[in-house]
Amino acid sequence: MRKASIERKTTETEIAVTVDLDGKGAYDVKTGVGFLDHMLEQLARHSLIDIKVRAKGDLHIDFHHTTEDSGIALGQAVARALGDRKGIRRYASLHLPMDEALTRAAIDVSGRPFLIWKVAFSGPRIGEFDTELVREWFQAFAMNAGVTLHVETLYGDNSHHIAESCFKALARALREAIEIDPRQKDRIPSTKGSLNK
Instruction: Give the tens place of pLDDT for each residue, 33-74.
Output: 999 999 999 999 999 999 999 999 999 999 999 999 999 999
Average pLDDT for the chain: 95
Instruction: Give the tens place of pLDDT for each residue, 71-111.
Output: 999 999 999 999 999 999 999 999 999 999 999 999 999 99
Q: Can you tell me the distance from the alpha carbon of 58 to that of 148, in angstroms, rounded to the nearest whole number?
A: 30
Q: What is the DSSP annotation of 94-129? A: EEEEETTEEEEEEEE-SS--EEEEE---SSSEETTE
Instruction: Give the tens place of pLDDT for each residue, 140-196.
Output: 999 999 999 999 999 999 999 999 999 999 999 999 999 999 998 888 776 576 767
pTM above 0.75, yes or no: yes
**Residue 16 burial class via C-beta count within 10 angstroms: exposed 0-12, middle 13-18, buried 19 and up:** middle
Q: Can you tell me the distance from the alpha carbon of 60 to that of 13, in angstroms, rounded to the nearest whole number?
A: 12
Cα(first)–Cα(last) distance of the chain, in Å?
Answer: 22
Between residues 86 and 139, the one the model is more confident about: 139
